[in-house]
Chains A and B, each alone.
Chain A
Amino acid sequence: MTRRRPVPSRFARRQWTISIAGALAAIGFVGAAQLNSSLARQDFITSAQRVLITEAEQLTRQQEALRAEIEVAEDRVRSFQEQDAGSRSALELLNQELAAARLASGLAAVTGPGMVVEVADSQRPVPVDESATNYIVLVDDLRDIVTALWASGAEAITVAGGATEGGPPAERLVATTSIYGAGSAILVNAVPLSPPYRIEAIGPEGLRDRFLAHPSYIGRLEPRIEAYGLQFASEARDDLTLPAFIGNTALRWGAPIPERN
């Protein structure tokens, strides 16, 4: 006597068919979306643009290398300044002044309470009759956030872009920092950043409340969040640590005015 495997019922077979059809439809949908987005990026790149893109990438790499070298050289200068060179008390006093100047100018890493803001492009589909730029984070949005933060009492701010891990380091804002747009690219301290953008600020208690009530946020950014669905989140934090500015601090076209005692 042979044992026969039970024959699947017609109902069970239909269930399998529906499941597989559903899965294949999902693959088709996701695959098409994936293909669509990669085509959109690769479309219409002329050879001239390709040359420019390569140059921009090379310059970005060169910038990273220069900043790393500057960081090393600054450490070396600091180590000389902290050495004992005869008049210890005078040097200690001078180094205290130097530390205070670095702290006030954004050239020292700082820690303290504050807030974090994250903003990213909208995930809503762009209607046919609307401009896609309404749905992405623009340079004005970052400037408005930073303006509202400084005006709300922030004492130190950094802006970071892209992935939290492996992305470019956060850029500390100093007196010479520009937040600048070139098309959809946003440069902070001339470093190209990409969304999502993360802005961290150290400041006195109530910083987040003041920020969310500031006209630069309420009057300009909030309406864009509501109208176009820009992704936005903010949170108060008890303890943040922000890095120091890395870059050129030397003056080429000007010189410090000597202090008159």
Chain B
Amino acid sequence: MVARMAQLSLFVVATIIGILLVGQLRSQARPLELSTLTAQELSSLIQTLSARNVDLTDGLADLREQIRDYERAELQGRSVLALTEEDLDGLSAFGGLRGVEGQGIVIEIDGAFNPTAVNDLIHELRNAPAEAIAVDDVRITARSVAVLGTSAIEIDGVPIGSPFTISAIGSPSGLRSAIERPGGILTLLAQSIDAVFTVTERTSLSIAGTQRDLTPQVARSVE
């Protein structure tokens, strides 16, 4: 009787240990702990999510308009060629294959700089969100990163001298406030880098397509 009781007790104890251990191990995965973020960090997160949702809503509206255009073209017996050409232009511009013109900002940078700072600035502009970015004349694509070359910073194999400019197409005021906000990227860079930044809003700006061949060599499209 005593032995059976002891076995039963051990079984219960082992079960409780198991449950607690699973709970503990799961908590090690650190799910996105919004509760650990400060009010300021949460506000920044909400701002980013809101801006992206507006962007996605606009994109969805464009796609629905495109679908309506195709449906109208079908009804009217028109060719879908023209619409597909427009789509090709848009996708090529998005991917950096084609030039883009529009409103935006130009940042002139004069002084000592490093590749990490260039990449950080690019990420900040993308988050703002910028629709097209160029460093001097080098169009930034998904695959473009600043690295330290033999004698200077290089992007896509092109040396970037000093001073240099970063051009970004997007909402001029939105881009500007994103990088100039208190505690933002320019404030952080000013603490670690000896450079002067001059930001100018532009109503008309032109960014060329990439010179780099982005055709993958090993990646194949999944049909």
B139-163 CB mask vs A (1 if < 8 Å, else 0) is 0111111011000000000000000
- Please report whether the interface of chain B is mostly helix, strand, loop or mixed according to DSSP: helix
Nearest Cβ in chain B — how far from A7, in angstroms? 9
> What chain A residues lie within 8 Å of B140 (beta carbons)?
175
Q: Which of B115, B131, B222 contacts A109 (CB 8 A)?
A: B222
> What chain A residues lie within 8 Å of B21 (beta carbons)?
30
On whether the beta carbons of B45 and A182 are closer than 8 Å, the reply is yes
Range class of the A interface residue count:
35 or more
Q: Which of B67, B89, B97, B169 contacts A105 (CB 8 A)?
A: B97
- Beta-carbon nearest neighbor of A242 in chain B: B219
- Beta-carbon nearest neighbor of A220 in chain B: B116
How long is the Cα–Cα vector from A125 to B138 in the complex, in angstroms? 45
On whether the beta carbons of B24 and A30 are closer than 8 Å, the reply is yes
How long is the Cα–Cα vector from A177 to B122 in the complex, in angstroms? 10
Residue with the greatest number of chain B CB neighbours at <10 A, chosen from A76, A85, A113: A85
A185 within 8 A of B: yes
How long is the Cα–Cα vector from A247 to B44 in the complex, in angstroms? 21
A146-188 CB mask vs B (1 if < 8 Å, else 0) is 1100110011110001110000000001111111101111010
A261 within 8 A of B: no
Q: Which of A56, A105, A257 contacts B100 (CB 8 A)?
A: A257
- Beta-carbon nearest neighbor of B95 in chain A: A105
On whether the beta carbons of A154 and B147 are closer than 8 Å, the reply is no
Residues of B within 8 Å of A, CB-based: how many? 113
A38 within 8 A of B: yes
> What chain B residues lie within 8 Å of A103 (beta carbons)?
215-216, 219, 221
On whether the beta carbons of B217 and A155 are closer than 8 Å, the reply is yes
> What chain A residues lie within 8 Å of B37 (beta carbons)?
49, 182-185
- Beta-carbon nearest neighbor of B209 in chain A: A257
How long is the Cα–Cα vector from A34 to B22 in the complex, in angstroms? 10
Contact of A37 with B27 at beta-carbon distance under 8 Å, contacts A112-B220, A185-B34 already known: yes
Instruction: Other than A105-B95, A177-B126, give 20 A-B pairs with Cβ distance below 8 A.
Output: A27-B20, A31-B20, A37-B24, A49-B42, A81-B87, A94-B85, A108-B222, A111-B222, A161-B32, A174-B95, A179-B123, A194-B29, A203-B218, A248-B59, A250-B58, A251-B169, A252-B131, A254-B93, A257-B98, A259-B98
Q: List 24 A-B contacts (CB under 8 A).
A: A19-B10, A23-B14, A30-B20, A52-B42, A80-B67, A81-B70, A85-B80, A94-B81, A105-B95, A105-B142, A106-B142, A107-B91, A110-B220, A110-B221, A121-B28, A157-B142, A175-B132, A176-B94, A178-B123, A178-B124, A183-B36, A192-B32, A216-B116, A254-B131
Instruction: Point out residues on A near B: beta carbons under 8 Å.
Output: 5, 8, 16, 19-20, 23-24, 26-27, 30-31, 33-34, 37-38, 41-42, 45-46, 48-49, 52-53, 55-57, 59-60, 62-63, 66-67, 69-70, 73-74, 76-77, 80-81, 83, 85-87, 90-91, 94-95, 97-114, 121, 123, 136, 143, 146-147, 150-151, 154-157, 161-163, 173-180, 182-185, 187, 189-190, 192-196, 202-204, 215-216, 220, 241-242, 247-259
